[in-house]
Amino acid sequence: MRGKGKKEAMVHVNLRLPIKVLAYYQQFPSYTVKMREALEEYVEQQDRDESQQGRLMMIDAIQEELTKRN
């Protein structure tokens, strides 16, 4: 974490991108920030989807168990 535990430290990476992807992001004043935001949002969405999928699997397992009992 950085500072007073507010921000997680970042790792520098080199990334190859198609020209049109780079051109899209370069329209923003700080295109690397926009890229980072897009990637972070994607990962957060994947985490939410996996969490939701886990809950659905748990509900299915409970319903199956209840069906077996009846």
3 pLDDT band, cuts 50/70/90, is: low
What is residue 34's predicted lDDT score, i.e. its pLDDT? 96
Where do the structural domains in the chain lie, given as residue ranges? 19-69
pLDDT tens-digit readout, 31-44: 999 999 999 999 88
d(CA 20, CA 27): 11
Q: What is the pTM of this model?
A: 0.65
Residue holding tokens 């990962």? 43
- Residue/partner pairs of 28-31 with CB below 8 Å, 24 or more apart: none
Q: Where are the alpha helices (DSSP H) in 26-70?
A: 31-69
pLDDT tens-digit readout, 7-55: 778 888 899 999 999 999 999 999 999 999 999 999 888 888 888 887 7
Burial class (CB in 10 A: 0-12, 13-18, 19+), 18: exposed
